[in-house]
Each structure stands twice: as C-alpha cells, then as structure tokens.
Amino acid sequence: MTSNLRAETIHFDSYDGNSVEAYLATTESDEKVGGVVVIHHFPGYDEATKEMVRKFAANGYNAVCVNLYYRESPDASPDDAAAAARASGGVPDDQLVGDVGAAAKYLRALANSNQKVGVIGYCSGGRQSVLSACSLTLDAAVDCYGAFVVESRPESTMTSIVELLPNLSCPLLGLFGVEDQHPSPEQTETLRELLSKHGKDFTFHEYDGAGHAFFAVDRPSYRPEVATEAWGEIWKFYGQHLSDKK
C-alpha cells in the first residue's frame, strides 16, 4: 500500500434521480480494493469529515461521503446547510438510505473495486450506519456512538430502529465511550442483547475515559489515545470484511 490517493468533489445521480454532491477519495492501487461510504455527523459535510474520507483512501480503500444536505441547500456552506437541516428535523430515513445505496453503487462501479462496500457513521451517522446496514446489502458496518438506535424520545423527530435490526445484512462494529449518555452504556447493552437475540455478527468496544464524539479531532470531546485504538479496530474489521486478503 502506497498511501497515495486522489480526492475530489463529485456529483452523481442518487436513487431518486436527483444529483447529489459527494467527496470522493480513491486509493492508488493496482489491486482490487474495498469501498467505504462515510456518513457525516449532524453538523454537516465539513472539513473534519472530509479528512476522514481521505484517511480511508490513505489506508487502502476507496471512500465517499455524500453531502446529505445538498438537496435542500446546494449552494450553502456546511454550517448554514446543517442549520437548515436542523430546522427541518434532519434528513428523512428513506432519503438517507437512498443516498447511501447510490454511494455504494458508485463505489462498486470504480475500476479498482472488489465489489465489497462498508459503511461508517459518526454521531447521528452512527444510527444512520446501522439503518443503512439494515436496509441495504452491505459487507460491513461501523456505528460510532450513534444515539436513537434502540431509544426514542417523544420530544424528538428521531425514532429507534429496533424493529429493523433483524434485517442487519452484515457484520457490525460498534465503538462507544462509557461516559456517553446518548447512547448510554445501558442502551449499548440493550443493542448487544437484541443483536445476540437475532443471531447477528457484531463486535462492540466501549472505551473508558471517552464520551460522545471521541473521534472528532476539532472538538473538545476528542480523545486521541482512544481514537487511535478505535481506528485500529476499524482497520482490523474492514481488513477482515472488505479486503480480498484474509
């Protein structure tokens, strides 16, 4: 692996025929490689998320992140687009699944694709990663501290996706901070019990000294030692499920 990559903004037609914006990073490799759909957090399609997309390409994967707010705010900055999305209650689940599915199709069509595609999401994207893996045929999914997977709040527009868990199509890696309250350790335990009950393949890691958003390098919640260890788990997991090499 050379760590060489190419990163660029692209547009492609999504599931509904609408063109969406996305950030694509492709790895320079003569061998066939896996792909990763990165789901950005609620604050938007920002620099920190694009850095994660490049990190996947530097580590031997093709990766793409769809700007989930592009439809409603095509010309706005990421923060303004995120504010508009927040005002409207967030991205509808059907639209999210459609965009992730279209992104996975885009990755599989790349010349150096091995046809395996995983998904990863952070914060709100954690829930959306599980949602995608329960709605699409994927090869691996990573949930980074996603709330509202097993819980709902009556005052919120977001609902749990417990009823979809029997449909989980691929192995799931869950990365959580024990100091996080959303999802709390109790909620993580509930998810663990449900996945076990449904006979699903999953691995959870819960890190001491970390709360929500420990991967976010531009936020005070960043925990470098935990993030480094958790990135190691991601490489191991994707290496097992997205690589042709075993």
Interacting residues with other proteins (CB under 8 A): 41-44, 46, 72-73, 75-77, 79-84, 86-87, 89-90, 123-124, 147, 153, 155-158, 180-183, 211-213, 219-221
Q: How far is the CB of 6 from other proteins (least distance, A)?
A: 28
The smaller minimum CB distance to other proteins, of residues 108 and 182, is found at: 182
DSSP string spanning the chain? Answer: ----EEEEEEEEE-TTS-EEEEEEEEE--SS-EEEEEEEP-TT-S-HHHHHHHHHHHHTT-EEEEE-TTTTT-TTS-HHHHHHHHHHTTS--HHHHHHHHHHHHHHHHTSTTEEEEEEEEEETHHHHHHHHHHHHS--SEEEEES-SSSS---TTSS----GGGGGG--S-EEEEEETT-STT-HHHHHHHHHHHHHTT--EEEEEETT--TTTT-TTSTT--HHHHHHHHHHHHHHHHHHT-S--
The smaller minimum CB distance to other proteins, of residues 8 and 155, is found at: 155
The smaller minimum CB distance to other proteins, of residues 40 and 241, is found at: 40
Short-list 92, 139, 148, 145, CA closest to 115: 139
The smaller minimum CB distance to other proteins, of residues 95 and 240, is found at: 95
Q: How far is the CB of 93 from other proteins (least distance, A)?
A: 12
Residue 226 one-letter amino acid:
V
Q: How far is the CB of 26 from other proteins (least distance, A)?
A: 28
Contacts of 127 (CB under 8 A, 6+ apart): 121, 143, 146, 147, 148, 149, 158, 161
The smaller minimum CB distance to other proteins, of residues 96 and 213, is found at: 213
The smaller minimum CB distance to other proteins, of residues 190 and 240, is found at: 190
Q: How far is the CB of 234 from other proteins (least distance, A)?
A: 21
Q: How far is the CB of 149 from other proteins (least distance, A)?
A: 11
The smaller minimum CB distance to other proteins, of residues 19 and 137, is found at: 19
